[in-house]
């Protein structure tokens, strides 16, 4: 059996992501208070955008952190783990900024999505390879 590596890069990445997540949460709260909408979006584009920035970030970050930790623990190269972590964080920031813009179809949002998908597919393939290898098949 493979010796498991402590997921220290993942721990740092998770710390960064949770702080970003809380900033997005506070942004939603601020918008909701300003427009007086405590639940739903009430037809407010501003509330909808803030909610989607927060929600989309959370949806992607959760599965990413789990997969990154597994890849790191199963012995993927440290440089690969660091690269994937850095790209993912930058992609999610890019997407959130792009979703904040008046025109929501814009280069920052598109780049954020493309890089997130690229990192996710790369991470998924590497996770399958490492898992398959650890099975001794």
- Look-up: residue for tokens 């997540």? 21
Q: Domains in the chain: how many in total?
A: 1
What per-residue confidence (pLDDT) applies to 2? Answer: 56
Angle between helices 45-73 and 8-35 (to 10 degrees): 170
Distance, in Å, from the CA atom of 66 to the CA atom of 70, rounded to the nearest integer, reads 6
* Tens digits of residue pLDDT in 7-17: 999 999 999 99
What per-residue confidence (pLDDT) applies to 5? Answer: 76
* Tens digits of residue pLDDT in 29-80: 999 999 888 887 787 888 989 999 999 999 999 999 999 999 999 999 999 9
- Does some domain include residue 62? yes
**What predicted TM-score, i.e. pTM, was given to this entire model?**
0.90
Closest of 58, 47, 50 to residue 18, by C-alpha: 58
- Does some domain include residue 3? no
What per-residue confidence (pLDDT) applies to 44? Answer: 84
pLDDT at 114 > cutoff 70: yes
* Domain at 110, CATH number: 1.20.120.550
Domain that holds residue 73: 8-135
* Tens digits of residue pLDDT in 76-93: 999 999 999 999 999 999
């Amino acid at each position: 059996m493979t010796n498991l590596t402590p997921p220290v890069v993942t721990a740092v990445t998770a710390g960064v992501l949770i702080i970003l997540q809380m900033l997005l949460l506070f942004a939603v709260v601020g918008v909701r208070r300003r427009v007086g909408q405590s639940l739903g979006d009430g037809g407010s584009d501003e509330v909808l955008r803030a909610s989607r920035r927060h929600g989309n970030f959370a949806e992607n970050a959760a599965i990413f952190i789990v997969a990154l930790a597994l890849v790191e623990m199963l012995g993927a190269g440290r440089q690969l783990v660091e690269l994937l972590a850095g790209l993912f964080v930058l992609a999610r920031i890019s997407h959130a900024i792009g979703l904040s813009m008046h025109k929501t179809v814009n280069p920052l949002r598109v780049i954020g999505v493309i890089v997130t998908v690229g990192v996710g597919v790369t991470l998924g393939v590497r996770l399958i390879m490492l898992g398959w290898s650890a099975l001794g098949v």
